[in-house]
Amino acid sequence: MVRRRRASDTFAGRTAIVTGGGSGIGAAFTTALATAGVDVACTDVDLAAAQRVAEACAALPGTVGAAHLDVTDAAAVRGIVDSVVEGHGHLDLMFNNAGIALGGNTEMLTPQQWDTVVDVNIRGVIHGVAPAYPHMIRQGSGHIVNTASMAGLTAAGLLTSYVMSKHAVVGLSLALRSEAAAHGVGVLAVCPAAVETPMLDADGVGGFDGRTYYLSGQGISTPYPAARLAAETLDAIARNRPLLVVPVQARMAWRFSRLAPGLMQTMAARFVAGQRKRQGL
């Protein structure tokens, strides 16, 4: 019988950067990596939040250092990447995780709000890829992990800017993966449905309620645990998978959208109508 390798066997001694590591999925990524023996730079625009995560990981096998990072600042992201490479000699895992959501009727979004979503969710990923990928090419190894969403594989309104940005992240990830394979570098797009994170309660426009949209509006009683997503992400990295789509209902919805796109659009329109009625939008 072949024994399945433990995460500690696969990741011990590696280095990682996690953006948006101060809460939610990013905090879960940081904890899972440190548990597996990875030395992690936990970065966040909220330094105090990143420090709390680092402190919570103090007894784990891997070391965790906290740093302030605004992913919209390309020079700052490059500085973090260069610092890790200089300090450790290598960067093995780049988690481009920082993201925001802004729900509500699309006509109510201002150009500035669109820009913010693009700057954080798309440019923030680009700013991580741009400095990390060349280092990994030179090493001949490494893995880039981009946090996308089920919203990057399917589409429904009232979350249009977020859906757009996550489709971009999925496209970037799959395209880069086809290039990176020749250099021994892996790329993974993480595409979960609703996860228990502060994003569920993020502000929207026009009275939009995210928790209603993500959960009760879709018939979901319990959000996906962030810790479970993190563990499955490490497994997906070890298996060099292109996409991680969870839970099983999300995979079924994604497959259905590919088989019957017209019907899926009809269902999406009905979903939006129901959401508007439910939320009074």
Q: Nearest 10 degrees: CA dihedral of 52, 53, 57, 63? A: -100
CB of 91 closer than 8 Å to CB of 85: yes
- Which distant-in-sequence residues (6+ apart) come within 8 Å of 228 by Cβ? none
Quote the distance between the C-alpha of residue 8 and its chain's center. 22
- What is the Cα–Cα distance from 33 to 18, expressed in whole angstroms? 10
Whether residue 162 lies in the annotated active site: yes
Exactly one of 162, 213, 214, 224 is catalytic; name it.
162
N-terminal to C-terminal alpha carbon distance within the chain: 57
Name the token pair of 274.
């129901």
d(CA 91, CA 94) in angstroms, rounded, equals 7
Phi, psi of 192 (to 5 degrees): -90, 160
Burial class (CB in 10 A: 0-12, 13-18, 19+), 104: buried
How far apart (Å, rounded) are the C-alpha atoms in residues 270 and 276?
10
CA 142/CA 253 separation, integer angstroms? 31
Give 58: exposed, middle or buried? Use CB within 10 Å, 0-12, 13-18, 19+: exposed
Of 152, 228, 130, 148, the closest CA to residue 188 belongs to 148
Q: Give dist(CA 39, CA 124) in Å, integer.
A: 22
Residues marked as catalytic: 162
